[in-house]
Every structure is written in C-alpha cells, then in structure tokens.
Amino acid sequence: MSVGADHEEPVLGLSTWPIERLQAFTTDAGCQQLEAVRVVAQEHAYGSDRPREVRRQWAKLSLLANRRMHGDGPGDRARAVQQDFMLRMWVIDHLGSDDKDPDWSPEKLASDTLDALALTPPHARALTSSRHELPIEQIRELRRHKNLTAHLERLINHLHPGSTRDQLLLWAETRRLLP
C-alpha cells in the first residue's frame, strides 16, 4: 500500500516519520492512512521518554487524524468522538490540563461530552429498563452513550462544582445501567 505524496514509502513506515512530515501527510491522506497516522501519533504521545509538550504535539496530531477520518454513519461518528474523548482525557490525566487549549481543558471536554449525548439521563434510564423489548437501533444508541461516557468518572475529578459537573455525575450513574 502506498501513501499519497509519498508513494515510495509504505504506510508501515509512518512510525519513523518526524511529526512535521506526518502533519503534512495528514492533509491529503485517505481513511486507512489517517487511521495509521492516528495510531502512530497516539503511540508517540504515550511515550514517556519524550518531554510533555512534545507528547502533547503528538496527541494533537492524533486528534487531527481522528477528526478527519470519520465516516458519515452514526457508528463512525460515535467511534471518532469516543476516541477523541478518551485521548483528551488521557492527556488531561497524564500530562495535565491546559485551559488555554480547548483540547486539554476539562471544562471544554465536559461541554463537548454533553453536546455529543442525544439522550438525557432519565430517557436513557427509561430505555434501559425496557431494553429487552427495544429495537436493535435503540440498543445501539444506548451502547453509543455508554461508550461516549467511558471517561466521565476520571473527568469529574477535574471539574469545579457546578451544573456541568452535576450533569456528568448523573450521566456517570446512568452509565452503570446501560447495556
């Protein structure tokens, strides 16, 4: 498999590319190539042998690739959003928050999480109580909500008291009931 402007190099070689080259490559990369960039960049972000700011740059590249590659289906969008939330949460937990950068702001992540949820906690609970009678698409929607809230217990610890935190606490309780 070759890659856009770099036809001579296989995608497998992406792990050896410097960040600047991968950033440029991401502009024209296809879905599979973006997934490879996302994974490689995330691995670099997780590497504890690098300075914190370099790891944040790699995480930012992973977010960029992830945001560019999602499909149009609800499952594709939910997967991309979940990966986005989980990486942002990891950075906040391990590299610290940064309210100057919305990707590393706990308050912004909390807001983005609430914006991504189509159901309210009471509605999700009501659906969960009758899940055995639900059509498969509603069960999938409950699973999407469970996946989109996987980071909440960690995120709540980074938030100041207030209505956003209270809403996420309700979602954390509701998440435990979701299939």
Q: What is the pLDDT of residues 53-109, one digit of tens each?
A: 999 999 999 999 999 987 777 778 889 999 999 999 999 999 999 989 999 999 999
pLDDT of 120 > 70? The answer is yes
* pTM of this structure: 0.88
pLDDT of 7 > 60? The answer is no
In this structure, are residues 164 and 111 in contact, taking their beta carbons and an 8 Å threshold?
yes
Q: Pull the structure tokens for residue 105.
A: 């702001």
Q: Which residues pair with 3 in a beta bridge?
A: 6
Q: What does the alpha-carbon distance between residue 60 and residue 104 come to, in Å, rounded to a whole number?
A: 10
Predicted confidence at residue 9, as pLDDT, reads 46
Q: Which residues pair with 10 in a beta bridge?
A: 2
Q: What does the alpha-carbon distance between residue 66 and residue 4 come to, in Å, rounded to a whole number?
A: 18
pLDDT of 1 > 60? The answer is no
Predicted confidence at residue 75, as pLDDT, reads 76
Q: What is the CA radius of gyration of the chain?
A: 18
Of the chain, the end-to-end C-alpha distance in Å amounts to 39
Predicted confidence at residue 62, as pLDDT, reads 97
Neighbours of 20 (CB within 10 A): 10
Pick the closest to residue 152 from 172, 177, 178 (CA basis). Answer: 172
In this structure, are residues 168 and 106 in contact, taking their beta carbons and an 8 Å threshold?
no
Query: Which has more confidence, 119 or 77?
Result: 119
Q: What is the mean pLDDT of residues 112-140?
A: 94
pLDDT of 145 > 90? The answer is yes
Q: What does the alpha-carbon distance between residue 18 and residue 107 come to, in Å, rounded to a whole number?
A: 32
Q: What does the alpha-carbon distance between residue 39 and residue 97 come to, in Å, rounded to a whole number?
A: 22
Q: Where are the beta strands (DSSP E) in the chain?
A: 2-3, 6-10
User: What is the band of 48 on the pLDDT scale with cuts at 50, 70, 90?
Assistant: confident
Tell me the pLDDT of the chain averaged across its residues: 91
pLDDT of 3 > 60? The answer is no
